Chains A and B, each alone.
Chain A
Amino acid sequence: MPLQTLTISSAHKLLLSKQLSVPELVKQHLDRIEAVDPKIHAFLRVQKDNALMRAQQSQKRYDAGSPRSSLDGIPMGHKDLFCVQGVETTAGSNILKGYVPPYSATTALKLEEAGAIMLGKLNQDAFGHGSSTENSDFGPTKNPYNLSRVPGGSSGGSGAAVAASEVLFATGTDTGSSIRLPAAFTNTVGLKPTYGRVSRYGVIAMASSLDCPGPITKTVEDCALVMETMAGHDEHDATSSTKPVPQYSARLATGVKNLKIGVLKEFFSEGLHPQILERTKQALAKLELLGAKLEEVSLPSCDYALAVYYILMTSEVSSNLARYDGIKYGYSVERQSEIKIPTLQAVYEESRRLGFGAEAKLRIMLGTFALSSGYYDAYYKKALQARELIRQDFIRAFERCDLIAGPVSPTPPFKIGEKTENPLSMYLSDIYMTPINLAGVPAMSVPCGFVDQLPVGLQLIAPHFAEERLLQAAYAYEQATRFYEQVPNV
Chain B
Amino acid sequence: MNLTLEEIRKIAKLARISLNEGEERKMAQQLSAVIDYFKKLQTVDTSGVDVHLSEGEEGNRLREDEARESGNQEVILSQAPLREDNFIKVKSVL
A residues lining the B interface (CB < 8 Å): 99-100, 102-103, 195-196, 209, 235, 238-239, 241-242, 301, 303-304, 306-308, 310-311, 318, 322, 325-330, 332, 334-335, 341-350, 352-353, 356, 361-362, 364-366, 368-370, 372, 378-379, 381-389, 391, 423-424, 427, 440, 464
- Say yes or no: A241 contacts B34, CB within 8 Å: no
- Say yes or no: B37 contacts A365, CB within 8 Å: no
Chain A residue at minimum C-beta to C-beta distance from B82: A334
- The number of residue pairs between A and B whose CB atoms lie closer than 8 Å in the complex comes to 149
Residues on the B chain within 8 Å of A99, using CB: 79
The reply to whether the CB of B91 lies closer than 8 angstroms to some CB of chain A is yes
Instruction: State how many angstroms separate the Cβ of A156 from the closest Cβ of chain B.
Output: 22
Residues on the A chain within 8 Å of B31, using CB: 362, 365-366, 369
Q: In the complex, what distance in Å separates the CA atom of A349 from the CA atom of B14?
A: 10
* 30 examples of A-B residue contacts, CB within 8 angstroms: A100-B79, A102-B76, A238-B60, A239-B54, A304-B41, A306-B37, A322-B16, A326-B81, A329-B76, A329-B80, A330-B79, A332-B81, A334-B82, A343-B91, A344-B93, A347-B91, A352-B16, A353-B18, A364-B17, A365-B8, A365-B12, A365-B17, A366-B31, A368-B11, A383-B41, A384-B52, A388-B49, A423-B34, A424-B33, A427-B34
Instruction: State how many angstroms separate the Cβ of A92 from the closest Cβ of chain B.
Output: 18
Chain B residue at minimum C-beta to C-beta distance from A240: B56
Residues on the A chain within 8 Å of B8, using CB: 365
- Say yes or no: A241 contacts B51, CB within 8 Å: no
Residues on the A chain within 8 Å of B46, using CB: 382, 385-386, 389
- Say yes or no: A195 contacts B27, CB within 8 Å: no
- Say yes or no: A310 contacts B38, CB within 8 Å: yes
Chain A residue at minimum C-beta to C-beta distance from B41: A307
Q: In the complex, what distance in Å separates the CA atom of A370 from the CA atom of B23?
A: 20
Report whether over half of chain A's contact residues are helix, strand or loop; otherwise say mixed.
Answer: helix
1-46 of chain B: CB within 8 A of chain A: 8, 11-12, 14-19, 23, 27, 30-31, 33-35, 37-42, 44, 46
Q: In the complex, what distance in Å separates the CA atom of A118 from the CA atom of B58?
A: 33
- Say yes or no: A327 contacts B16, CB within 8 Å: no
Instruction: State how many angstroms separate the Cβ of B77 from the closest Cβ of chain A.
Output: 9
Residue in contact with B52 in the complex, picked from A352, A362, A388, CB distance below 8 Å: A388
- Say yes or no: B17 contacts A356, CB within 8 Å: yes
On whether A304 and B37 interact (CB within 8 A), knowing A361-B17, A364-B15, A388-B50, the answer reads no
Residues on the A chain within 8 Å of B76, using CB: 102, 329
- Say yes or no: B33 contacts A369, CB within 8 Å: no
Residues on the A chain within 8 Å of B38, using CB: 307, 310-311, 370, 379
Residues on the A chain within 8 Å of B44, using CB: 301, 304, 382, 386, 389
On whether A335 and B81 interact (CB within 8 A), knowing A343-B91, A369-B11, A464-B57, the answer reads yes
Residues on the A chain within 8 Å of B79, using CB: 99-100, 328-330
Instruction: State how many angstroms separate the Cβ of B29 from the closest Cβ of chain A.
Output: 10
Residues on the B chain within 8 Å of A386, using CB: 41, 44, 46, 49
Residues on the B chain within 8 Å of A384, using CB: 51-53
- Say yes or no: A304 contacts B56, CB within 8 Å: no
Q: In the complex, what distance in Å separates the CA atom of A145 from the CA atom of B35?
A: 35
- Say yes or no: A334 contacts B52, CB within 8 Å: no
Q: In the complex, what distance in Å separates the CA atom of A218 from the CA atom of B16?
A: 43
The reply to whether the CB of B86 lies closer than 8 angstroms to some CB of chain A is no
- Say yes or no: B55 contacts A308, CB within 8 Å: no
- Say yes or no: A311 contacts B41, CB within 8 Å: yes
Residues on the A chain within 8 Å of B30, using CB: 362, 423
Instruction: State how many angstroms separate the Cβ of B45 from the closest Cβ of chain A.
Output: 9
Residue in contact with A196 in the complex, picked from B14, B19, B27, B56, CB distance below 8 Å: B56
Chain B residue at minimum C-beta to C-beta distance from A440: B55
Chain A residue at minimum C-beta to C-beta distance from B75: A102
- Say yes or no: B88 contacts A327, CB within 8 Å: yes
- Say yes or no: A238 contacts B35, CB within 8 Å: no
Residues on the A chain within 8 Å of B11, using CB: 365, 368-369, 372
- Say yes or no: B41 contacts A391, CB within 8 Å: no
Residues on the B chain within 8 Å of A369, using CB: 11, 31, 35
- Say yes or no: A424 contacts B61, CB within 8 Å: no
Q: In the complex, what distance in Å separates the CA atom of A303 from the CA atom of B40?
A: 9
Residues on the A chain within 8 Å of B61, using CB: 238
Residues on the A chain within 8 Å of B14, using CB: 368, 372
Q: In the complex, what distance in Å separates the CA atom of A366 from the CA atom of B36?
A: 12
Q: In the complex, what distance in Å separates the CA atom of A346 from the CA atom of B34?
A: 28
- Say yes or no: B81 contacts A391, CB within 8 Å: no
Residues on the B chain within 8 Å of A241, using CB: 56-58
